Amino acid sequence: MNVAPKSLSELAGMVGGRVVGDGGVAIGKVASIDEAGVGDITFLVDPRYRSYLSGCKASAIIVGSNVAISSEPGKNFLQVDQPYLAFAKVLQAFSHPPRFDGKVSPQATIHPTAVLEKGVTVFPHAYLGAGAKVGAGSVIFPSVFIGDGAQIGADCVLYPQVTVREGCRIGNRVLLHAGVVIGSDGFGFAVEGGTRTKIPQTGIVEIHDDVEIGANTTVDRATLGRTIIERGVKIDNLVQIAHNVVVGEDSVIVAQAGIAGSSRIGKQVILAGQVGVVNHIQIGDGVRIGPQSGVAQSVPPGVTLSSGINAAPHREWLKVMTLLPRLPKLWNQIRQLERKIDALSRTSGKKGKAHDGH
């Protein structure tokens, strides 16, 4: 089923933008700037792609308000303050969300005490344990495991191979991509001599409304109490969140990041790719941390931390690595030289004054 074409003026009204050119041009779909043709709308956010404009054949182009377009006569533009946000809204207008039949496959394994509310779709080979509950309109794809007593809210989508372990709670409108594991055991062991004794992980994971979690991400259950992912959090693929962590509202965690146990992440925090957070620290609201950064101590609200490791030519990097163990000694030598130079300067100054007096 195709979405009916929309005029450029209609789209401008949807995103609060300004039309430069023909507002009546018909738009039927969204395409990338290098592939768009007649009837398509595309977007330009990154200045690096500015050179594509002259050859672009799209019927309209979404651009920022700060982009100079006077040099592109004959083209139609939709100017907005936030082009990426406008692109997202326009793409939603032309997307086709999948529809599900609200039926439960007879090939699914569902415990007699599990509760499915109205309109739940369950695909073949899904498993729902004793006392599990799934809210209205949710979709459970093949090979999903929902453990005993786990609760899934309304209008959730659990893609194939998702695991929600026993007792965990998922809010409304939560999207769990393929391979997500919610409620795996936290990594806890007591050591006596050379023997490690497992600490039972008796808590749960609680995920609030409007959270999206990417493929193969794991969120460990609490040792005691709850691991909490608050409302609106967006988590990328391949992220590890350990036991008793709390992630605040509307935070973003990018691929391959890891958060160790009992850390607290504030609201609207951004952790870039491969950020590592040690256990038992607090990261304040609004903090931004660059990729590959190791965070070993608490960070106050509003702070931006730069990236951890920058790429360098291999030979140069080897030289740096060779020097690193020598840095303390070199620093001491520099301090000693500074003191000697300072002493020589004072001695020279005294001699100069003595000579002037003579």
Residues in the chain: 358
Q: How far apart (Å, rounded) are the C-alpha atoms in residues 247 and 157? A: 21
Q: Is the distance from CB of 146 to CB of 152 less than 8 angstroms?
A: yes
Q: Give me the sheet containing 246-247, strands edge to edge.
A: 115-116, 133-134, 151-152, 169-170, 204-207, 226-229, 246-247, 264-265, 282-283
Catalogue the active-site residues. 243
Q: How far apart (Å, rounded) are the C-alpha atoms in residues 341 and 6? A: 76
Question: Left if phi > 0, otherwise alpha if psi is -120 to 50, otherwise beta: which for 101?
Answer: alpha
Q: Terminus-to-terminus CA distance in the chain, angstroms?
A: 103
Among the listed residues 139, 154, 152, 226, the one whose alpha carbon sits nearest the alpha carbon of residue 183 = 226
Instruction: Give kind and range of the element (H or E) at residue 348.
Output: helix 327-357
Number of C-beta neighbours around residue 298 at 10 A: 13
